[in-house]
Structure 1
Amino acid sequence: MKSGLSKAALTALSRRGLLSGAGALSGLAALPPGVAQAMTQGGAYPLAEFFKPTRSAGAGLSPDGNRIAVGENLGTDIAPRSAVDFINAADPEGQRLRVALGPVWISSIQWASNDRVLVSVIIKGETGRRSQTGSNVRADSIEYYMRRVVSIDAVRGDAVVLFSDQRARMRGSFDMGRIIDMLPNDPDNILMAASEADGVLALYRVNVNTGSATRIERGGSGTYTWRTVKGVPVMRHDVNSRGTMESILVRAAGETEWKLARRSRIRDAPDFSWVGESGRDGVVLVIARLDSEDVQSVREMNLATTQLGP
């Protein structure tokens, strides 16, 4: 069949554009029969189709554009089961590598490097029925959910759970899936936040090939996240014990102590948020509203002085 596009137009199409179109067509082909029929006939969707679980859990193109990773939730709410398919971007219809992840739900997927993909998964657990201390009455089993990140080799299919070298921490924490910085210039490591034994959040450098983690920063009693520039923490967000006040602390390169830059009530309309690095050393971009203004603006913030630009 001859294409209606000119040769120049075909040449202008990028690989990403072609993949986007192929993804859209494959998405239509994967629609449930009721929805597909309704779309072709112009009728209403069957009500039951709105309550069917979503099978696809996301997809991502590797940084070099050579591979596509597709997350698939293949099970049910009662019996979860998931897998990740690796597809050759140059031959999407060719043979693919499938890596089974077992009884988990995939919530997101992103590439850490050209050879490693990170998959955030949700795991369901149960406490089991247990007798209360000093009583013959057995307490009902309670369901709980945990978040973990699995790193998969896109060539061999080998998988490792991040923080796998810290079994005690894995057993005692529900959330081990908070990625702070993907470190695009360091394909072997990422920065993640995880709770210590006393509940205080800490920042870790995690190797995506081995799963091993090294602590690089310990937060305060109310710390809930960090902002980084080129892998270095430059801003920290803390909340007080009552959950009513947020404190923004900053630290310039070479400094060892955090200093307070801003404090505001959480219930008030937010007037400060992080944008990213500015391209200049010691200066970041934030969204802020000055006391004399009615609107927010993107401004430069000097990390050494905490002053905002005009």
Structure 2
Amino acid sequence: MIDRRRLIATALAAPGLAGSAWAADGPPAAIKPPSLEELFRYPVLVDAALSPDGERVAVLREERGLAPPGSVTPEKEREYKRWKPMAGSTAKPFDPQEGHLAYIRLSKVTELDGKPVTVLLGDRAVRQVEWANNERLLVWVTIEANADVTLGQGGQGDDGPARPRSQVKTRARRVLSIGADGKDQMILAADPKYGFANNWTMDNVVDLLPSDPDHVIMQIGRNNRWNLYRVNVYTGEPVLIEQGFPNTDAWFLQDGVPVLRLDSNGDNSVVTVHARAPGAADWTLYHRFRRNEQDKLADFNVVGATTEPGILLVASQQPGDDTVVVRRFDVASLALGDTVAHHPGRDIEEIFQDEAGVIVGARYIEDRDAYDFVDPKLAPHFRALNRFYDDQCNMRLHDVSRDHSRFIVRVSGPQAPKGFCLYDRAALHVEDLGEARPWLNGRLAGMEVLRIPARDGLPLTAYLTVPVNPPKGPAPLVVMPHGGPEARDSYSFDRWAQYLTTQGWLVLQPNFRGSGGLGRAFAEAGHHRWGDAMQWDIQDCVDALIKSGRADPARLAIAGGSYGGYAAMMGAILQPDRYRCVISRAGPSDLPDFLSYMRGLDGSDSPLYAWWTKLIGDPAKDGAMLAAASPVRRIAELKAPLLLFHGDRDPIVPVAASRDMAKAMKKAGKFCAYFEVEYEGHSDWGYDDEFAFMEKSAAFIAQSFGG
């Protein structure tokens, strides 16, 4: 039994003496890698929350496979039969007898070693738990919808155009309010008299209202538009406070007052922002912004509100900024002001605040999560927590008490998919609150951070995931460039990489030039260089691994999604004898066609089109370069077999990109297998389709390697 109090105190006093919280007994002599089913098995630990006074902890858990025989409704049976795995997959569809048993474990912080109060939530899928106040909990749940209800389009109420039943799952998302004693459970705004019975999405709490603990603000659809309601957490009663316009899809609030309104175009790619200062009557047009692949507004990402009326916190990268920084934004003057948070060479990812809006710290990513703290006394505690977990996990602040004496920290990493711990700052005490997938503990592949110079001297970082039983001698390697491309990989859990390593393969994830989060100069070094310099960086990382003797040059594969899918195809064209196979998921294959699609979405003068031409090139000026950088136009140079996947509802890269690539490969007499996945978008596919994608990918690579 580890003495956690002693260990955290030791870590604070003498870093070299810190112990390990999760390897006390050492690794087993022989390690069995997890199966794909185990990697996809639903987590049993979902979320954790700390009461505002810091006295109680709620841990949300969900067990599956516990539905008693005969308890499954006919509606659920029909749903599971409709949503099948991808053709040819051995994935097990959701078992209609599987069911859920969701529950909350409630404990006093001073009695965590005792028996918690267990609050049963029944056969519901759960996603999140939060304290509305010290007496009442909110739980985000998914429940079965009434089979006789026709759901409105987009979940905006019962007055929208009906969608075919085959295109929408009959599930409803709701917020459950529960007393801290586990009693008096109710669904917020669920009484039929409120008129929301047909809404299938009714779980958007946009303000917890710390200054009004009896209420929250929710965004709920009505009359085919989103509106704001003040909802009583004790009675569930909603009161309308703001009505949206037909194209309004979000607001930002400050202490219950809407100060920004976001109106989206038809495909949600461009957002028009209106502002209204507290006390003002009318909305004022501010600006139009592109919505990026992370569903954020590019150069105007609201990350919080200050304690000053009308002053928000906005993450942006203005001319002259090397990185994304956080500034004050005055809603009345529509002006960005003083910088609140920045870190040299790294983007600020988020601001962590307490319930009153007081800033605790700004998070950025080196390789793992890191923070710049407002109170410098917190920094040694954060370093000690990292050492407590052997500096092998991401420690992300998740919740904090009002007095900042206690924190819930989310613990994750390549070998730790997700867990939570409670840290008592005064007592120097860490208490594990559980792991999401404990059956994977000690069985996951580790990750190494590699520093590799590009051929022109640009420093690159790549992440190498190594099988849990490391191979002897040169090993097969799968190169996995990320999407975006102005995104990045980091030291974190990646299910696809983990599964590929179970086959005995190394997995390399390079942050090539053009990646985001690493400064303006690094990102702009990839502009207009999709077909050459960005690919050279990937080549240089692979070359370094081969030269080190770790990768087998005769067994290399390349695979990726979105931009990563494009990079996989282009990489195999530029080096036709290097890779044994190529996998592209939703990768653009023709850059002029892709730019034409983006221009058609919102016009040639839109922020969306301006962004993509800045990133890739201007067809009017760079036509020859764009054509040369298009895989579909260079099929003759591609020797390796190609596996393509694409969702037929992809709103970012049109499905025609993969259809055209498959046709061109077939016409050229080259091997290409193509799977078009029904009802899926660009990413975050459903369980069955993600499972089938990984299963088919691994089988394709194994066959190409001769295994």
Instruction: Answer yes or no: same fold by TM over 0.5.
Output: yes
Equivalent in 203, 212, 220 of residue 245 of structure 2: 220
Change (3 A) 1:117 1:39: farther
Letter in 1 for 2:120: A
Q: By how many angstroms is 1:208 displaced?
A: 0.8
Q: Does structure 1 residue 274 correspond to structure 2 residue 263?
A: no
- Aligned partners of 1:205, 1:116: CA distance in 2, in Å? 16
Give the aligned partner of residue 66 of structure 1.
55
1:234 maps to a residue whose letter is V
Deviation at 1:298, TM superposition (A): 2.7
Aligned twin of 2:335 = 307
Give yes or no for the alignment of 1:116 onto 2:136.
yes
Asked if the contact 2:215–2:232 (Cα under 8 Å) also holds between the matched residues in 1, the reply is yes
Distance 1:237 1:290 in 2: 21
Partner amino acid, structure 2, of 1:65:
G
1:255 aligns with 2:280: yes
Alpha-carbon deviations, 1:10-65, whole Å to 9, x = none? Answer: 9x9xxxxxxxxxxx78xx9xxxxxxxx99544513341532332222222222222
How many residue pairs get aligned? The number is 279
Instruction: Provide the residue aligned with 1:200 in structure 2.
Output: 225
Q: Which structure has the bigger radius of gyration?
A: 2
| 1:84 partnered with 2:109 | no
In 2, the alpha carbon distance for the partners of 1:4 and 1:151 equals 34
Q: Secondary structure at the match of 2:39?
A: helix
Q: Secondary structure at the match of 1:180?
A: strand
Q: Does 1:235 align with 2:263?
A: no
Using the alignment, how far apart are the partners of 1:144 and 1:286 within structure 2? 37
Q: Shift of residue 181 of structure 1? A: 0.8
Unaligned residue ranges in structure 2 (runs of 5+): 13-20, 66-93, 149-164, 339-707
Question: What is the match of residue 38 of structure 2?
Answer: 49
Shift of the alpha carbon at 1:89?
Answer: 2.3
Q: Secondary structure at the match of 1:90?
A: helix
- Specify which structure has the bigger relative contact order, considering alpha-carbon pairs within 8 angstroms and separated by 6 or more residues: 2
Q: Residues 114 and 127 of structure 1: is their aligned pair in 2 closer, same or farther, counting only changes over 3 Å?
A: same
Contact 2:140 2:203 survives alignment (8 Å) = yes
* TM superposition shift of 1:146: 1.3
TM-score where L is the length of structure 1: 0.77
1:171 aligned counterpart, secondary structure = coil
- Greater shift, 168-177 or 245-254, is seen at 168-177
**1:224, 1:2 → 2: CA distance?**
49
Give RMSD over aligned pairs: 3.6
What one-letter code is carried by the residue in structure 2 that aligns with 1:45? P
The 8 Å contact of residues 86 and 97 in structure 1, kept in 2 or not, is answered as: yes
1:123 is displaced (CA, Å) by 1.6
Give 2:195's match in structure 1, choosing from 169, 183, 196. Answer: 169
Question: Deviations along 1:201-227, whole A, 9 cap, x unmatched?
Answer: 001111111111111001111111111
- Taking a change above 3 Å as real, the CA distance of residues 50 and 296 of structure 1, as seen in their structure-2 partners, is closer
Cα separation, 2, equivalents of 1:292 and 1:142: 46
Write the letter of the residue equivalent to 1:182.
L
Cα 1:55–1:284 shift into 2, 3 Å: closer
Shift of 1:87: 2.0
Report if aligned partners of 1:206, 1:213 keep a CA contact under 8 Å in 2: yes
Q: Secondary structure at the match of 1:81?
A: strand
Pair 64,97 (structure 1): closer, same or farther in 2 beyond 3 Å: same
2:117 to 71, 76, 97: 97
Q: TM-score, normalised by structure 2?
A: 0.36
Is residue 126–residue 143 contact of structure 1 (8 Å, CA) maintained in 2?
Answer: no
How far 1:264 sits from its partner (Å)?
Answer: 2.9
Compared CA separation, residues 94 and 142, structure 1 to 2 (3 A): same
Given the superposition, is the C-alpha separation of residues 42 and 90 from structure 1 closer, same or farther in structure 2, using an over 3 Å criterion?
farther
Contact 2:289/2:300 (8 A) holds in 1:
no
Structure 1 residues 177 and 70: CA distance shift in structure 2, 3 A: same
CA distance in 2, matches of 1:218, 1:113: 27
Q: 1:187 aligns with which of 210, 213, 229?
A: 213
Is this contact kept in 2: 1:127–1:142, CA < 8 A? no
Question: For residue 231 of structure 2, what is the amino acid of its counterpart?
Answer: V
Contact 1:97-1:157 at 8 Å conserved across structures: no
Residue 150 (structure 1) aligned with residue 176 (structure 2): yes
Residue in structure 1 matching 2:312, options 260, 274, 284: 284
The residue identity in structure 1 corresponding to 2:186 is: V
Q: Structure 1 pair 294/158, CA: closer, same or farther in 2 (3 Å)?
A: same
| Cα gap change, 1:283 to 1:92, in 2 (>3 Å) | closer
Corresponding residue number in structure 1 for 2:371 = none
Please give the alpha-carbon distance, in whole angstroms, between the structure 1 residues aligned to 2:4 and 2:129.
Answer: 36
In 1, Cα distance between equivalents of 2:242 and 2:129: 26
Aligned-partner residue type, residue 85 of structure 1: R
Task: Indicate how the Cα distance of structure 1 residues 39 and 204 shifts in structure 2: closer, same or farther if over 3 A, else same.
Answer: farther
Work out whether residues 68 and 89 of structure 1, in 8 Å CA contact, stay in contact via their aligned partners in 2.
yes
1:170-227: CA deviations, max 9, x gaps? 321111100101112221111110101x211001111111111111001111111111
Judging changes above 3 Å, is the alpha-carbon distance between structure 1 residues 184 and 306 closer, same or farther for their aligned structure 2 residues? same
Identical aligned residues as a percent: 30
CA distance in 2, matches of 1:46, 1:140: 34
Give a deviation string over 1:80-125, Cα, whole Å, max 9, x none.
2212222232222333322222221111111111111110011234
Conserved in 2, the CA contact under 8 Å of 1:70 and 1:85? yes
More helix by share: 2
Question: By how many angstroms is 1:152 displaced?
Answer: 0.8
| Equivalent residue runs for 1:11-22 within 5 Å | none
